[in-house]
Structure 1
Amino acid sequence: MNRRRRVFEGKGKILYEGPEPGTLIQFFKDDAAEPGIAGEVIDGKGVLNNRISEYVFSHLNAIGIPTHFIRRLNMREQLVREVEMIPLVLTVRNIAAGSLSRRLGIEEGTPLPRSIVEFSLKSDELKNPLVTEEHITAFGWAMPPELDDMVALAIRINDFLSGLFLGAGMQLVDFKIECGRLFEGDMMRIILADEISPDSCRLIDLQTRQRMDRDARGGAAPNAHSEIARRLGIMNENEPARAAGPVLVK
């Protein structure tokens, strides 16, 4: 196996140095990424998230939405552009669920009058608190033009994902994205980074209204990931969802 230097490790992924300057290798782990099930390993989840995220990012690249994705390397790894991550999480909501329902007392499953984009500070220690544009610009996490670019990206991605999942018999409730600054010479632009997978989306089946996503926990979780991949035509039912990872250089 290849020997690589680890750059960063999060809940669901590890970033390693890439083969060329300005690139990283993104490795998808099997670890459960949701609060309350930390430490749980879901066999094959990383492979499924890698393939689903590859599928989505490839289509986003094709329609002109800038992303860090270059290509998939194997069952668990992607080659991506190295970016300066902006410490914000954007949540795009189409239907009331999760923290929105709890905060505002809106019944889960209620369609929203329009899609809502929320900002959270990316901090596991603080549990990703909601922040306003005033907070973001005052503390220098992003500038107003960058916020405009991120919101514009989020809305375009929402339009694409809503249609993609609808065609596969699923409804997009909400999703989370992260963005980064890509520097090319003297130019800088905001691009989509991280991943889009069942770990970052809420989806429900159009017919049964059952959850098929990161809320389908425990024993249901691997089945949900597999079903989403099957519906999108990414992996067939007999394809193994396992692969080994690289050896870490201390």
Structure 2
Amino acid sequence: MARRRLVYEGKAKILYEGPEPGTLIQHFKDDATAFNAEKRDVIEGKGVLNNRISEHIMSGLNSIGVPTHFIKRLNMREQLVRACEIIPLEVVVRNVAAGSLSKRLGIEEGTALPRPIIEFYYKDDKLGDPMVTEEHILAFNWASQQDVDDIIALALRVNDFLAGMMLGVGIRLVDFKIECGRIYEGDFQRIVVADEISPDSCRLWDLRTGRKLDKDVFRRDLGSLTDAYAEVASRLGIMPRGGSGKTGPQLVH
């Protein structure tokens, strides 16, 4: 088997050159990091669960006309995705006060916000991914005004879809992070949702009990991260109840 060419390795994923021009293979690792990688561990099965959950969400977005880089899942840990020019911004949509928003503004965690709030963070690990405004984005040419408008529209559509999906299985979508990229098709450019959407990049709380089903379990030492992610997968119908993501045959195809 020919050795695959590594394109990029991040904290949670590896990108390899894809089988066709304009494609990449996205591999989900078991690495878990928090607090800008100050806290880290390897948690068996996490990558499998994130791959399957992200596949489920991205496929759903594609089906309703929200453009993403996702093409198909290849195996338990890998997806085939479109290569795109990543815009160096993390886009956070908040529905409920939690995390840094509660700390910055002194709003009690769990307070419903009057409307979805969109925040931008500049992607730079050395700087700790600082929060930035639209003025920064435009002044430093990270994205054009049209790009920003498209990103906001995409983020709100993802929020509507994801909030409804999670509400249907008894989960409250507190907030989530997406990344966006540019895909060029001849002279035409479009913005797509890239990276992943999984419990690694969302805050998900049980609607009835408030139990956390996301990476805050790892950040705050609240128990088994794979159990929390497996609960999300089970409710979404991706995996039967009682599965952990550690063994492939438990997952529903």
Say yes or no: TM over 0.5.
Answer: yes
219, 227, 236: which one pairs with 1:232?
Answer: 236
Q: Is the 8 A contact 1:52 1:229 kept in 2?
A: yes
Q: How many residue pairs get matched?
A: 243
Cα distance, 1:186 vs structure 2: 1.2
Cα distance in 2 for partners of 1:224, 1:37 equals 22
Cα distance, 1:34 vs structure 2: 2.0
The letter of the residue matching 1:214 is K
The letter of the residue matching 1:178 is E
Which residue of structure 2 aligns with residue 20 of structure 1? 20
Which residue of structure 2 aligns with residue 241 of structure 1? 246
Q: Is the 8 A contact 2:87 2:143 kept in 1?
A: yes
Which residue of structure 2 aligns with residue 8 of structure 1? 8
Percent sequence identity over matched residues? 64
Indicate yes or no: 2:165 matched with 1:164: yes
Which residue of structure 2 aligns with residue 247 of structure 1? none
Cα distance in 2 for partners of 1:34, 1:14 equals 18
Which residue of structure 2 aligns with residue 196 of structure 1? 197
Q: Deviations over 1:24-74 (max 9, x none)?
A: 000000000322664301100000000000000000000000000000000
Q: Is the 8 A contact 1:33 1:199 kept in 2?
A: no
TM-score normalised per structure 2: 0.93
Cα distance, 1:239 vs structure 2: 7.4
Which residue of structure 2 aligns with residue 29 of structure 1? 29
Cα distance, 1:212 vs structure 2: 0.9
Which residue of structure 2 aligns with residue 223 of structure 1? 227
TM-score normalised per structure 1: 0.94
Cα distance, 1:165 vs structure 2: 0.3
Q: Is the 8 A contact 2:49 2:245 kept in 1?
A: no
Which sections of structure 2, spanning at least 5 residues, go unmatched?
249-253
Q: Is the 8 A contact 1:171 1:204 kept in 2?
A: yes
Cα distance in 1 for partners of 2:126, 2:3 equals 31
- Cα RMSD, aligned residues only: 1.4
- Secondary structure, aligned partner of 2:34: coil
